[in-house]
Amino acid sequence: MEEKKPLEVLYHSTRGMGEPVKASQAILKGLAEDGGLFVPDHVPALDRSLGELAEMDYGQTAYEVMKLFLTDFTREELEDCIGKAYDAKFDTKELTPLVEAGGVWYLELFHGPTIAFKDMALSILPHLMLTAARKNQSQEEIVILTATSGDTGKAALAGFAGVEGTKIIVFYPKSGVSPIQERQMVTQKGENTLVVGIHGNFDDAQTGVKKIFSDRKLGGEMEAAGLRFSSANSINIGRLVPQIVYYVHAYGKLLRKGRITEGEPINVVVPTGNFGNILAAYYAKKMGLPIGKLICASNENRVLYDFLRTGTYDRRREFVLTSSPSMDILVSSNLERLVYHIGGEDGPGTRALMEALSGRGCYDITEGMRAELSDFYGGYASQEETAAEIDRLYREWGYVVDTHTAVASAVYRKYLQDTGDRGAAVVASTASPFKFTRSVMGALSEKAAGTGESSDCERDFALADELSRLSGVKVPQAVEEIRTAPVVHCRECDVAQMEKVVREFLGI
Ligand SMILES: *Cc1c(COP(=O)(O)O)cnc(C)c1O
């Protein structure tokens, strides 16, 4: 049977400048030249029935979703990338198990090599990028430049380390990640890798990286040296598109299990930081997947909660370091894409709002745009509520979740109270509890909690063993392998020195 060729999807900037580009070019560039983010010119509809999708495994679902967005990739190319990404690097054949606890479905997205959901996209991004480079006859070496709140960094390092034709530089907030997260990054092997702790928070790192990206002078020197920057952050559509897959796959699984009927809407709850994961769910809904509410869960950095409630985005507030560090973010990059879509795809309008954000530190959306946000529900959970939720899930259901997942789970309980909406719900479970053992164990038992601010990882490893005994879950390989691994990166710098550090590493 011949496959119908889907309508080509082109990508253009949220800020309205420049020519539209093909998917492979958008993946190579990462960020548009005017500083905007690439968005698809239309969101393609799923062309398989929900019943058909229910019969597919993860790889097949990935193909069905990705072929619709990455229209200039051939079937062979996509299948090759999918095959290389979703293999024995994952510790379960299922890839993304759905676990029920207390009538809620936890979609475990942390079974990849670095035990956070970022692996779902970052294990395929290097393959998409190399394929994209080949397709565009690009001879330049790809330099991945990434800011991380903890999980992207390691997942990107794991994906790109040792990959020929690439280099990767990761900036993380020196005092803003968990001990295990830091150890994972600074033990990363590979000649082509550089890991640097900055004296600042994630937003500083992200702003610094964006600045380096849009520095024309540096760009020119890079070109002359045969180098080209790209991004592994969720601003890259090569990361966003693979994230749509697990929502589609989860729906199919619930259908196959007979837990929902075909077409029945499900609510999706996402612990949110940079707005990438929940934006993927939004695109899944736009593709026709029956999703009811998109429940956006924040921690005490509740800038998105306030935005959804008031229509004002205001980053001028205190930055709180919480027990869910991967969500400690005040400038959620991917929100720019949503703002663009709800504002009638108005490039100059989006540009004005984003300029207000970087200038004044805030912007307001119109009433019309607010009306377009009715698919979303915003909530937040304090650190106390988060800890209580970890404890409750363990006591009542014997199920241990990490702090980020617990934020989402706590917000979902508020949603239930608020709305009484008892529809099936899927909570995106974004990290293994073993990645945040100190906070998780602290939530579970008084005894294990807080013995100061020791940056020493040993305590976390001992806690991991204890967590394993309590939960009956084996300590993941990702934690085992860093117990004894030597530290190979110890570079630190101020935000103002980021460009200098990049230049040194690249020799330009
Ligand atoms: C990155 C991350 C998040 C936030 O995801 P976004 O796509 O940035 O909103 C939540 N939880 C964990 C564990 C993460 O690593």
Taking the C-alpha atoms of residue 210 and residue 71, their distance in angstroms, rounded to an integer, is 27
- In this predicted structure, the answer to whether residue 393 has a pLDDT above a threshold of 60 is yes
Ligand 1 neighbourhood includes 308 CB (under 6 angstroms): no
- In this predicted structure, the answer to whether residue 447 has a pLDDT above a threshold of 60 is no
Q: Name the pLDDT band for 4 (thresholds 50, 70, 90).
A: low
Q: What pLDDT score was predicted for residue 75?
A: 98
Measured from the CA of 273, which atom of ligand 1 is nearest?
9
Tell me the mean pLDDT in the region 324-341: 95
Q: Give the mean pLDDT of the chain.
A: 94
Residues in a beta bridge with 268: 294, 426
- In this predicted structure, the answer to whether residue 479 has a pLDDT above a threshold of 90 is yes
Structure tokens at 42: 């239309």
Among 482, 492, 431, CA closest to 458: 482
Tell me the mean pLDDT in the region 153-170: 93
* CA 43 to ligand 1 centroid distance, Å: 23
Residues in a beta bridge with 144: 168, 230
Q: What pLDDT score was predicted for residue 7?
A: 86
Tell me the mean pLDDT in the region 357-373: 97
Measured from the CA of 150, which atom of ligand 1 is nearest?
15
* CA 437 to ligand 1 centroid distance, Å: 17
Measured from the CA of 277, which atom of ligand 1 is nearest?
7
pLDDT above 90 coverage of the chain, percent? 87
Q: How many CA atoms lie within 13 A of 410 on its CB side?
A: 26
Ligand 1 neighbourhood includes 325 CB (under 6 angstroms): no
- In this predicted structure, the answer to whether residue 90 has a pLDDT above a threshold of 50 is yes
pLDDT above 70 coverage of the chain, percent? 96
Give the sign of the dihedral formed by CA 29, CA 33, CA 35, CA 37.
negative
* CA 304 to ligand 1 centroid distance, Å: 14
Q: Among 115, 231, 235, 277, which residue has the most ligand 1 atoms within 8 Å of its CB, making it the best to mutate? A: 277
- In this predicted structure, the answer to whether residue 192 has a pLDDT above a threshold of 90 is yes
Q: Name the pLDDT band for 454 (thresholds 50, 70, 90).
A: low
Ligand 1 neighbourhood includes 301 CB (under 6 angstroms): no
Among 12, 276, 239, CA closest to 128: 239
Pairing of strands 98-101, 104-108: antiparallel
* CA 116 to ligand 1 centroid distance, Å: 8
pLDDT tens string 124-155 = 999 999 999 999 999 999 999 999 988 899 99
- Give yes or no for a contact between 170 and 153, defined as CB atoms under 8 angstroms apart: yes
* CA 145 to ligand 1 centroid distance, Å: 18
Ligand 1 neighbourhood includes 272 CB (under 6 angstroms): yes
What's the distance, CA 442 to chain centroid? 26
Q: Name the pLDDT band for 179 (thresholds 50, 70, 90).
A: confident
pLDDT tens string 291-301 = 999 999 999 99
- Give yes or no for a contact between 352 and 225, defined as CB atoms under 8 angstroms apart: no
* CA 427 to ligand 1 centroid distance, Å: 13
Q: Among 240, 274, 283, 386, which residue has the most ligand 1 atoms within 8 Å of its CB, making it the best to mutate? A: 274
Taking the C-alpha atoms of residue 43 and residue 281, their distance in angstroms, rounded to an integer, is 12
Residue closest via CA to ligand 1's atom 8 equals: 274
Ligand 1 neighbourhood includes 274 CB (under 6 angstroms): yes
User: Of 66-75, 205-214, 252-261, which gets the smallest average pLDDT?
Assistant: 205-214
* CA 138 to ligand 1 centroid distance, Å: 31
CA–CA distances in Å: residue 163 to residues 125, 378, 456 = 12, 40, 31
Measured from the CA of 402, which atom of ligand 1 is nearest?
13
Q: Which 8-state DSSP code applies to residue 362?
A: E
Q: Is residue 199 within a helix (H) or strand (E), and if so which, with residue range?
A: strand 193-199
Ligand 1 neighbourhood includes 277 CB (under 6 angstroms): yes
Which residues are within 8 A (CB) of 57 and not within 5 positions of it... i.e. 6 or more apart?
none
Residue closest via CA to ligand 1's atom 14 equals: 326
- In this predicted structure, the answer to whether residue 250 has a pLDDT above a threshold of 90 is yes
Residue closest via CA to ligand 1's atom 15 equals: 151
Measured from the CA of 280, which atom of ligand 1 is nearest?
7
CA–CA distances in Å: residue 311 to residues 306, 370, 379 = 8, 6, 14
Q: Name the pLDDT band for 255 (thresholds 50, 70, 90).
A: very high
What is this structure's pTM? 0.94
Q: Which amino acid is located at 348 in the chain?
A: P
Measured from the CA of 272, which atom of ligand 1 is nearest?
9
Among 223, 267, 268, 283, CA closest to 65: 283
Q: What pLDDT score was predicted for residue 178?
A: 84
* CA 151 to ligand 1 centroid distance, Å: 8
- In this predicted structure, the answer to whether residue 320 has a pLDDT above a threshold of 60 is yes
Q: Which amino acid is located at 452 in the chain?
A: G
Q: What pLDDT score was predicted for residue 1?
A: 47
Q: What pLDDT score was predicted for residue 116?
A: 95
- In this predicted structure, the answer to whether residue 266 has a pLDDT above a threshold of 50 is yes
Measured from the CA of 431, which atom of ligand 1 is nearest?
13
- Three-state SS for 54-117 is HCCCHHHHHHHHHHHHCCCCCHHHHHHHHHHHCCCCCCCCCCCCEEEECCEEEEECCCCCCCEC
- In this predicted structure, the answer to whether residue 27 has a pLDDT above a threshold of 90 is yes
Taking the C-alpha atoms of residue 459 and residue 462, their distance in angstroms, rounded to an integer, is 5
Measured from the CA of 276, which atom of ligand 1 is nearest?
7
Per this entry, what is the length of the chain?
Answer: 508
- Can you tell me whether residue 267 is helix, strand or coil? strand
* CA 321 to ligand 1 centroid distance, Å: 15
* CA 436 to ligand 1 centroid distance, Å: 13
- In this predicted structure, the answer to whether residue 206 has a pLDDT above a threshold of 70 is yes
- In this predicted structure, the answer to whether residue 180 has a pLDDT above a threshold of 90 is no
Q: What pLDDT score was predicted for residue 434?
A: 95
* CA 306 to ligand 1 centroid distance, Å: 19
Give the sign of the dihedral formed by CA 218, CA 221, CA 225, CA 228.
positive
Pairing of strands 291-298, 376-380: parallel
Ligand 1 neighbourhood includes 116 CB (under 6 angstroms): yes
Which residues are within 8 A (CB) of 484 and not within 5 positions of it... i.e. 6 or more apart?
none
- Give yes or no for a contact between 39 and 279, defined as CB atoms under 8 angstroms apart: no
Ligand 1 neighbourhood includes 323 CB (under 6 angstroms): no
Residue closest via CA to ligand 1's atom 2 equals: 326
Q: What pLDDT score was predicted for residue 210?
A: 87
| Residue scoring higher pLDDT (94 or 456) | 94
Dihedral pair phi/psi, residue 364, rounded to 5°:
-115, 140
